[in-house]
Amino acid sequence: MCGIIGYVGTDRGDDAIEVLLDGLSQLEYRGYDSAGIALADGGIAVHKREGELSALESTLSPERFDGDSIGIGHTRWSTHGPPSDANAHPHTDAEERVAVVHNGIIENYQSIRDELAAAGVAFRSETDTEVVPHLIAGFLDEGLDHEAAFRAAIDRLEGSYAIAAVFDGTETVYAVRNESPLVLGVGDDGHFLASDVPAFIEYTDRVIYLDDGQFARLTPAELVVTDGDGRELEPSIETISWDPDDAGKSGYDHYMRKEINEQPAALRECFRGRLDELSGRIDVPELDELGPVETVTFVACGTSYHAAMFGARLLREQGIPAHAFLASEFGADVVPIDSTSIVVGVTQSGETADTMRAIREANRAGATTVALTNVVGSSAARETDHVLYIRAGPEISVAATKTFASQQAALTMFAAAVTDRRSRDLVRELRAVPDRIQSILDTSSAREIAETYRGSGAYFFIGRGYHYPVALEGALKMKEITYEHAEGFAAGELKHGPLALVSEETPVFAVATGDGPLAEKTIGNVKEVEARGTPVVAVTDGRSDVGRYADHVLEVPATSPVASSIVANVQLQLVAYWTANELGRPIDKPRNLAKSVTVE
């Protein structure tokens, strides 16, 4: 969601305005509706605007700020108060002695706001964040120094937050994290902080991930991390392994198209060192100490939940009871969890608030926890007993594509590893997946399908078995980036209600591969909608007769049932992309959505 960038440079460093604006542009993918910066050289200068970053940039004259070396910036995704100039961050106290940016939600802000208002404080926004600079100012008035006032204000807050502050007359940025991501960048000519590494990867690849309750003090000369009691810590510095160009568009019109096309490379990286075709063994060293697996509970949200459904079915078919739960609905009072339980949090960012809450609840119950995530050093990676990285690389578009395929692949390896399953056929099929996806990328007719059905009344997606989560994911992609109504169903459920919705204006995308019972039953469901004049698009490998009853066919290479769901999903991603492109939608930044959902 919201994005934070902060910078303190040396005399040799870049100008703060350049770093801040570049950082905010790299954080646009998170989703936002306003943006702002605060520069703190020779007084605090705040500039903020509703709308896209370009609206803020149009009000700035970079030459005016040449030589300024300290500042903070923010992209806001509205929670308290609608998008407006006044509600945009940064926020200051009445005398503009301190400026603050904040991600997360301050749960007790209303009682603090009432208290401050009774003391005569006049608020200029509807946000929960504005209480923070006024709290700090109050402690400054009591005689506390900048750091002490910052800490005292933080002590008053309840909820989730990543907060950064600058003060008039200092070359220091103060920051703190609690249940909202914050990472520090260690540079040669300055230091950085941000919600996510892409904000400053152009300047440094050395990072420190803050833990909950940790504070940071950034100056031109040093970067100091302390605990809640002020004791100095020695955090580990990690080196980010990907190049800044990895987060660029590389000539594509949209990040989403680039990331769809990156799936073969992402999957090869996911499989690297984990597949042994000679022995038929799938070796995942990260899980060696997991111990016996009796039952598995997956918790996830959105696209990751669809991957979790896929993973749960894999385990059930291998004799291990497994269930996928929406993390926002998960609770120990609903799902029995104890020390014998294994809970797997599936989260691309490793920071998803609902999933992190579920993981923490599982930890408190004594369960063994596993993170399946893309981001090294993320909260999920640090707070679980085991972590399995999907290795998909940076994903910038809000709509997840390559990370879903990599989650499916990683979950396939997870299921094989925990059951000690040996299968040369499975390993061979997984190794072939990247090439099979490439063949789809090279030959897909999805663009023509999108042109044919652009402007339909609704879009329905159906599948059975492993293709049921793929149908749900296909519908999610369509609704996310086209703003058109789309729904996914288990194919057999059409006749139990949804069939009332089909018409000549509601194309049905049916995923059916192989020639077994599930494909045959799906053909029956296709006939049900065909009889009602509904156009059908079959996603199929041609091994069944489903194509005979379809108006259009999206072909996929023949492979195993498990691998076919990874492959088939790519066709549905392309249909959603080209439909959104035809409709002129802002594909990478769909309205109201955020890449990393860090509030519950």
Catalytic residues: 2, 595
What is the SS3 assignment for 109-136?
HHHHHHHHHHCCCCCCCCCCCCHHHHHH
The closest alpha carbon to 597, from 205, 31, 8, 9, belongs to: 31
The closest of 8, 353, 387 to 181, measured between CA atoms, is 353
Can you tell me whether residue 446 is helix, strand or coil? Answer: helix
325 vs 107, 258, 399, CA distance in Å? 26, 31, 21
Could you give the angle at the alpha carbon of 354 between the alpha carbons of 349 and 357, nearest 5°? 105
What are phi and psi for residue 508, nearest 5 degrees?
-115, 125
Burial 343-382 (b: 16+ CB within 10 A, else e): bbbbbbbbbbbbbbbbbbbbbebebbbbbbbbbbbbbbbe
DSSP string covering 259-308: HHHTHHHHHHHHHTTTEETTTTEE--GGGTT----S-EEEEE-HHHHHHH
Q: Which of 295, 197, 178 lies closest to 243 in space, CA to CA?
A: 197
Long-range (24+ apart) CB contacts under 8 A made by 381-387 are 381/350, 382/209, 382/211, 383/356, 383/359, 384/345, 384/359, 386/286, 386/287, 386/289, 386/290, 387/286
Helix, coil or strand: residue 572: helix
